[in-house]
Amino acid sequence: MSVPISLAASQRRARYVRAHRWLAAHEFLPVLALLLLVLLFFFQIGARDLISSHEARAAQNAQRMLDTGAWGLPVLYDGQRDLQKPPGYYWLVAAAGALNGGYVSPLVARLPAALAAVAVVLLVYGFLRREGYATGALVAAVALATANHFVAIGRTARIDVPLTCAVAVALVCFYRAATREAASGYTVASGFAVGVAILLKGPIGLALVGAVAVAFLIVERIRLPLTTALLGTSIVALVAGPWFVWANHETGGAFVRVFFWHHNVARFMGESEVLAAHPWWYYGPRGTFAFLPWTLPLVPLMVWAAHAGLWRESRPFRFGVVWCVVMIAVLSASRFKRADYLLPALPGAAIALGCTAQHWLASRERARSVRLAKWAFGALAFGALAVWPVMWFVVEPAEAARQEKKPFAEAIRAHAPAPQTVVLFRTESHLLAYHLGPPLRTLVEWGDLRDALAPAGPHTVVMPPEFVAEAARLTGRKLVPVADLADFVPVRPPRPLVCLRTEE
């Protein structure tokens, strides 16, 4: 005997309410999750020195903007234009520095990334709540906020998390525009966010959003009105276009050659001599690691979703899957790959996980299954959080000590106080340059070094130790070592450097 449709629907509704009763009874959970979110991304982010080249470049570019008032092109302390990236992230750091009395500290340099990470988590939570996924919103937000690589990069002064935020805003607004009437406001917001993504990292922002948007329209069989497409495209051009046109004119065409060709086309094709290429499957294992510990429930839940027909039932689920899969496919097409580039795909994975978790809970007929799922979720969240005290007090300080350059820079400036120029020869240590401060000169060719050391008077030069003997021979100057980087760090530095002064 078949069960009447009304009775079957009533039973499903009862199971659904029972599955989510624990969330309603614990309304403090979202507040607690928000507090943990702030702790994860902001605890001690200013307590350690800048570490990577990316962080030091961001600090230099932003500080130069504040010191000179020239916010157009990023410029490093040695006076060279930094054309690797558009200035979007450096503008954010400089704005934070202006609120800090005009000084870019490590906290200031990392603040835009940490704020962007929190914004992405809240956006994912709000998106799923509005789509009717109360429990799914909490699961997705907690998963994204505690995914190991998302947290790690969100605590550093890198562009990838603000890019993820801009991409996520663009896609969520696009979703609203494509699935609702009177969507011109969402179209404008989506186009503006894409323009911001381009100003942060260039055409990859448009490629990621555009690919996901087109794929989603195909999957949903939605025909986007021409006026909507033109409006969104126009907003993107108005936000990002003027700076790119101006920058290329200001640099005499060098911006196109350096940024677009070398740092985009050559990277994509794997033609760069200094960047390692990776196989197409690289993001499979890297993505699995980046989303830990939530990869563990994600895989079996995706298998369940395929068998349960969730693809047909849930549009937000399809959106999350398309978001994640298409982005990974786009990024995999590039020969040059980095784990950090995966970050814009993680919100899509979190959305898919949240949708699947809620539907799985609603399908459980026994309350015991729901209780076990709740404890499993709590155990994974606790495990993800338990890692971070070790990161805060052991791993991050150890890495900061290994990369430490400040004491070495102070020793150099003790021999060559500003405004004396320090020459950096055949070394690209942005962190050292940040602590030295201007004036600096960066040289690569032997002839340029000879000319720089030719004038009378003492000169200060920093170089790898293997070049010291050749430098003395070619320049004809006696070079006296006055400081060695190895004396200022607890372990052997990965790239040894020595400071030398010329004598008559």
DSSP secondary structure letters along 31-97: HHHHHHHHHHHHTTTTTS---SHHHHHHHHHHHHHHHH---SS-B-TTS-B--SS-SHHHHHHHHHH
Angle between helices 346-362 and 367-390 (to 10 degrees): 150
Q: Does the pLDDT at position 1 exceed 50?
A: no
- Length of the chain in residues, anyone? 504
Partner residues linked to 75 by β-bridges:
81
- 3-state SS assignment for residue 498: strand
The secondary structure of residue 251, as a DSSP letter, is: T
- Write out pLDDT tens, residues 34-45: 777 778 899 989
pLDDT at position 260 is 72
Token duo for residue 130:
């509005």
Residue 368 CA, distance from chain mean position: 40
* Angle ∠(243,245,249) on CA atoms, nearest 5: 110
pLDDT at position 24 is 45
Sheet holding 478-484, edge to edge: 440-443, 422-425, 460-463, 498-503, 478-484
d(CA 197, CA 116): 12
Distances (CA, A) of 107 to 99, 153, 367: 12, 14, 47
Q: Which residues contact 176 (CB under 8 A, 6 or more apart)?
A: 183, 186
- Write out pLDDT tens, residues 163-176: 999 999 999 999 99
Instruction: Identify the residue whose tokens are 């050749």.
Output: 470
For the whole model, what pTM was predicted? 0.90
Look at residues 132, 205, 124, 208 and name the one whose alpha carbon lies nearest to residue 172. Answer: 124
pLDDT at position 490 is 84
Token duo for residue 25:
């009874």
pLDDT band at 247 (very low <50, low <70, confident <90, very high): very high
Q: Does the pLDDT at position 183 exceed 90?
A: no
**Mean pLDDT calculated for residue range 8-21:** 51
Domain membership flag for residue 443: yes
- Write out pLDDT tens, residues 127-142: 999 999 989 999 999 9
- Write out pLDDT tens, residues 421-474: 999 999 989 999 999 999 999 999 999 999 999 988 899 999 999 999 999 998
Domain membership flag for residue 190: yes
Domain membership flag for residue 122: no
What is the full DSSP assignment across 347-402?
HHHHHHHHHHHHHHHHT--SHHHHHHHHHHHHHHHHHHHHHHHHIIIIIHHHHHHH
pLDDT at position 351 is 98
Of the residues 233, 249, 274, which one is the last residue of a structural domain?
Answer: 274
Query: Which of the pair, 101 or 8, is modelled with greater confidence?
Result: 101
3-state secondary structure 404-471: CCHHHHHHHHHHCCCCCCEEEECCCCHHHHHHHCCCEEEECCHHHHHHHHCCCCCCEEEECHHHHHHH
pLDDT at position 4 is 44
CB 112 within 8 A of CB 88: no
Look at residues 319, 321, 345 and name the one whose alpha carbon lies nearest to residue 176. Answer: 319
**Mean pLDDT calculated for residue range 4-9:** 49
Domain membership flag for residue 468: yes
Of the residues 239, 274, 309, which one is the last residue of a structural domain?
Answer: 274
Of the residues 232, 254, 274, which one is the last residue of a structural domain?
Answer: 274
What is the percentage of the chain residues whose pLDDT exceeds 70? 89
Q: How many CB atoms lie within 10 A of CB 338?
A: 16
Domain span including residue 190: 159-274
Domain membership flag for residue 114: no
Domain membership flag for residue 488: yes
Among 81-85, 164-168, 350-354, the range scoring the smallest mean pLDDT is 81-85
pLDDT at position 456 is 84
CB 479 within 8 A of CB 468: yes
pLDDT at position 411 is 96
- Write out pLDDT tens, residues 327-346: 999 999 887 788 889 999 99
Q: How many CB atoms lie within 10 A of CB 105?
A: 17
Q: Tell me the average pLDDT of the chain.
A: 88
Domain membership flag for residue 34: no
pLDDT at position 224 is 87
Question: Left (φ > 0), alpha (ψ -120 to 50) or beta: where does 80 sit?
Answer: beta
What is the number of domains present in the chain? 2
CB 325 within 8 A of CB 142: no
Rg, Å, the chain Cα set: 26
**Mean pLDDT calculated for residue range 492-502:** 91
**Mean pLDDT calculated for residue range 148-164:** 94
Domain membership flag for residue 444: yes
